[in-house]
Amino acid sequence: MAAQNQKKITRAEQKALRPIQILDAAFEEFVRSGFTGTRVEDIADRVGVTKGTVYVYFETKEKLFEAMINHFSVPFQELLGITASLSGSATDRLLSILGLLYDQIAEDRTTRELTRLVIAEGHRFPDLIDRHHDQFIEPIIAKVDALILEGVASGEFREIPVEFSEIVVAPILTTTVLRLIFDDRRVPTPNKEAFLRAYFDLLLNGLLAKN
């Protein structure tokens, strides 16, 4: 009886895990072949199920792609939660957020490839990409904006254009895109500590108020 109960639990757990397994497999196939080149049967093969099983959870390849993008965007939501708990000066919190963004975007292979998919396939799913931006990207930019304005108000930062936050995060995005284009052929994986030192030095020399 105990063995039977254990079997039932295992099957239930397996069933609960199945959508995540499908999304993980879909991510790898979409990265490898793009949206058009990806076949649902190849995703199913990665999981070890039939194509029909994939369609049980996701009615179409389009819905599967959308669910995959949403699934792998969750870390941005978690990052927002972390930024809310930061303390210290505006400079300290800004540098902490940028370090977290570097880890999440430039260093994390999944986020880099997600960026590639958003760029390559975004024209097929404009509503999805807009929602992704509104839910995950815009709140982070707004947090950077707020910190810069707070630093300006306190005299810690000099007066700067409102659009400055876009420039603040640009080096991270540039590094990410270059790594996507060239992999490690022409753009070696940057030394994180050295990159952040140079990045923060350039940023603060342009941002900090002169005494």
**Is the alpha carbon torsion for 190, 201, 99, 77 positive or negative?**
negative
Q: Hey, where are the domains in the chain?
A: 9-58, 68-203
The pLDDT tens digits of the residues spanning 116-142 come to: 898 899 899 999 889 888 888 888 888
Is pTM beyond 0.85? Reply is no
Protein fold of 68-203:
Tetracycline Repressor; domain 2 (1.10.357)
pLDDT: which is higher, 191 or 101: 101
Average pLDDT on 184-202 reads 80
Protein fold of 9-58:
Arc Repressor Mutant, subunit A (1.10.10)
The pLDDT tens digits of the residues spanning 43-100 come to: 999 999 999 999 999 999 999 999 999 998 888 888 888 888 899 999 999 999 999 9
Beta carbons of 148 and 165 less than 8 angstroms apart = yes
